[in-house]
């Protein structure tokens, strides 16, 4: 069953990966007994929710090798074993996962009951993790080493869904009252989070009992540096070994041997508030869409490190281009006539404020009056989710939550979506996404996903701007950095200097 699922998933999510694009983290034999130096890492996004796995912080934990789920994504987008060594489907709505021998970082054993309890807590989180948007699941232990997961409706991509960083498995001791989750020393990955110093830094040590073998680095010292120029400078001066999300403007300042470019499934979009404010009017949304020149953004702001926006899925999702549909019934644009709007974004991804500034100029030429607001992500996310802005510029990896292209549509553009920054709630969109969720055969699921994309784009609530390539700064002495199109990994057992 696992082999059949892997073939299905690989066809579903084929990405253009070169041999060196998804670096090996090393084998247990490679890393056994490693006593290497500590790694120094600069990350762009400070924790927004004290590293809770249920929100945006989940990818911080996975990128640092702290957390794992039952399954993981390989370089081809297929579900592969992680804490689960194997799985099989049992009927239309149930799957049984067999666990490998592993221990939590607090020394307790990874058991079926602990895994089931961890997944149950994820289903109770508010707001729901994006990976569970539109999905209801029930996890039960079957003996000591098997977990049976049943979904309310058939879910043909459940093993892919369980790769989500937000569905990481934590020890019973991680869960407190009132939904509080503490990942410090309670996960299963090769590195143990031992200390979080607010939004400034974090300390990680090696998990010596990791099931995949001891990591070659003895630990990780993390600095959260929201300013992209400062991240690049820290790498140049030797203060850090790895710096993520190097600004395009800083790329030329780095030597070629420390500059790594990775094609990703990340799309930067303009999201228009379809629930309240001026953009509740579809004709004004159409006016905003017509005002945007995406080529100017790709060539100007991103200096060629991006492609002009084609849709929700970009060129890295290779099957999408041949299946893309033209949205039906393009809405006639209204005259902006001095309509006042608030455009917001965040500065953790350094190109976004410049993108927003260019968009401001384009929209003002179309007759809008634009007020621009820029904050650090952790200080703007809640307001964005609450629909406080008329327009929002977001850089979003469309496959980061589940690896399934339909899942991002459910979480970001349906009435009940947990990450619906456009506040979109259209019957036709919900129906199209539901149809896609019900399809299991790979080609037909792709077709259904593209039909739903066309339905969403027809609302003009989302305007795809560019499809981005990420630049990571890696010190010349550093080996084994994990660079993947889903942006879920960065360090692993084989990462060392």
Q: Where are the domains of the chain?
A: 2-222, 263-469
Is residue 92 over pLDDT 70?
yes
| Neighbour-count burial for 206-224, b at 16+ CB within 10 Å, e otherwise | bbeebbbbbbbbbbbebbb
Higher pLDDT, 260 or 2: 260
- Measured at the CA of 187, the angle between CA 186 and CA 193, to 5 degrees, comes to 75
Write down the pLDDT at residue 304. Answer: 85
Highest mean pLDDT among 99-108, 317-326, 402-411: 99-108
Q: Would you say 460 and 272 are in contact if contact means Cβ atoms under 8 Å apart?
A: yes
Pick from 20-24, 54-58, 354-358: least confident: 20-24
pLDDT score of 222: 98
Mean pLDDT, rounded, of the chain: 90
pLDDT recorded at residue 263 = 83
CATH of domain 2-222: 3.40.190.10
Of 84, 73, 178, 173, the C-alpha closest to 131 is: 73
Which superfamily, per CATH, for 263-469? Dipeptide-binding Protein; Domain 3 (3.10.105.10)
Position 433 pLDDT exceeds 80: yes
Cα-based angle 65, 189, 16 (whole degrees, multiple of 5): 50
330 has a pLDDT exceeding 90: no
State mean pLDDT over 426-435: 96
- Mean pLDDT calculated for residue range 279-295: 97
User: Which residues pair with residue 372 across a beta bridge?
Assistant: 343
Per-residue pLDDT of 453-488, as tens digits, reads 999 999 999 999 999 888 999 999 999 999 988 899
Residues 446-458 have a mean pLDDT of 95
- Indicate whether 350 pLDDT > 80: yes
**Three-class DSSP labels, the chain:** CHHHHHHHHHHHCCCCCCCCCCCCCCCHHHHCCCCECCEEEEECCCCCCCCCCCCCCHHHHHHCCCCCCCEEECCCCCEEECCEEEEEECCCCEEEEEECCCECCCCCECCHHHHHHHHHHHHHCCCCCHHHCCCCEEEEEECCCEEEEEECCCCCCHHHHCCCHHHCCCCHHHECHHHCECCCCCCCCCEEEEEEECCCEEEEEECCCCCCCCCCECEEEEEECCCHHHHHHHHHCCCCCEECCCCHHHHCCCCHHHEEEEEEEEEEEEEECCCCCHHHCHHHHHHHHHHCCHHHHHHHHCCCCEEECCCCCCCCCCCHHHHCCCCCCCCCCCCCCCCEEEEEEECCCCHHHHHHHHHHHHHHHCCCEEEEEEECHHHCHHHHHCCCCCEEEEEEECCCCCCCHHHHHHHHHCCCCCCCCCCCCCHHHHHHHHHHHCCCCHHHHHHHHHHHHHHHHCCCCEEEEEEEEEEEEECCCCECCCCCCCCCCCCCCCCEC
Confidence of residue 36 (pLDDT cuts 50, 70, 90): low
pLDDT at position 179: 77
The pLDDT of residue 156: 87
Q: Out of 44-48, 168-172, 190-194, which region has the weakest mean confidence (pLDDT)? A: 44-48
The answer to whether the CB of 366 falls within 8 A of the CB of 287 is yes
Where is average pLDDT lowest: 93-97, 268-272, 302-306? 302-306
Percent of the chain with pLDDT over 70: 93
What is the pLDDT, as a whole number, of residue 77? 75
Q: Are 70 and 84 in contact (CB under 8 A)?
A: yes
So what's the pLDDT on residue 264? Answer: 85
């Amino acid at each position: 069953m696992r082999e059949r699922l892997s073939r299905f998933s690989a066809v579903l999510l084929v990405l253009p990966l070169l041999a060196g694009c998804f670096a090996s983290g090393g084998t247990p034999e490679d890393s056994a007994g490693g006593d290497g130096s500590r790694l120094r890492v600069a990350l762009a996004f400070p924790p927004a929710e004290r590293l809770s796995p249920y929100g945006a912080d989940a990818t911080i934990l996975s990128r640092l090798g702290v957390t794992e789920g039952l399954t993981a994504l390989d370089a081809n987008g297929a579900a592969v074993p992680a804490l689960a060594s194997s799985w099989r489907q049992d009927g239309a709505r149930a799957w049984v996962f067999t666990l490998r021998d592993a221990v939590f970082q607090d020394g307790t054993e990874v058991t079926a009951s602990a895994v089931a309890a961890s997944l149950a807590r994820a289903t109770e989180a508010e707001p729901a993790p994006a990976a569970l948007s539109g999905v209801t699941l029930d996890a039960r232990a079957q003996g000591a080493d098997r977990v049976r997961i049943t979904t309310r409706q058939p879910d043909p991509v459940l093993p892919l869904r369980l790769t989500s960083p937000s569905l990481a498995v934590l020890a019973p001791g991680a869960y407190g009252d009132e939904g509080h989750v503490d990942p410090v020393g309670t996960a299963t990955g090769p590195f143990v989070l031992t200390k979080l110093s607010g939004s400034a830094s974090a300390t990680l040590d090696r998990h010596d009992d990791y099931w995949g073998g001891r990591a070659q680095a003895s630990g990780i010292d993390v600095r959260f540096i929201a300013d992209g120029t400062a991240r690049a400078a820290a790498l140049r001066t030797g203060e850090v070994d790895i710096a993520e999300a190097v600004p395009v403007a800083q790329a030329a300042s780095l030597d070629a041997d420390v500059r790594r470019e990775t094609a990703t499934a990340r799309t930067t979009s303009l999201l228009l508030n379809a629930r309240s404010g001026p953009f509740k009017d579809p004709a004004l949304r159409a006016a905003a869409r017509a005002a945007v020149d995406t080529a100017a953004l790709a060539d100007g702001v991103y200096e060629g490190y991006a492609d002009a926006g084609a849709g929700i899925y970009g060129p890295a999702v290779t099957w999408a281009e041949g299946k893309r549909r033209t949205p039906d019934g393009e809405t006639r644009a209204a005259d902006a006539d001095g309509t006042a709007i608030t455009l917001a974004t965040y500065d953790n991804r350094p190109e976004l404020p410049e993108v927003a500034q260019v968009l401001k100029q384009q929209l003002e030429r179309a007759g809008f009056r634009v007020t621009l607001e820029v904050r650090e992500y952790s200080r703007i996310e809640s307001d964005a989710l609450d629909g406080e802005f008329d327009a929002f510029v977001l850089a979003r990896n469309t496959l980061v939550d589940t690896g399934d292209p339909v899942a991002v549509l459910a979480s970001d553009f349906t009435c009940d979506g947990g990450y619906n920054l456009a506040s979109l709630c259209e019957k036709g969109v919900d129906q199209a996404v539901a149809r896609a969720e019900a399809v299991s055969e790979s080609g037909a699921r792709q077709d259904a996903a593209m039909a739903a994309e066309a339905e969403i784009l027809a609302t003009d609530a989302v305007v795809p701007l560019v499809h981005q390539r990420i630049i990571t700064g890696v010190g010349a002495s550093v080996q084994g950095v994990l660079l993947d199109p889903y942006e879920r990994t960065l360090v692993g057992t084989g990462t060392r200097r």
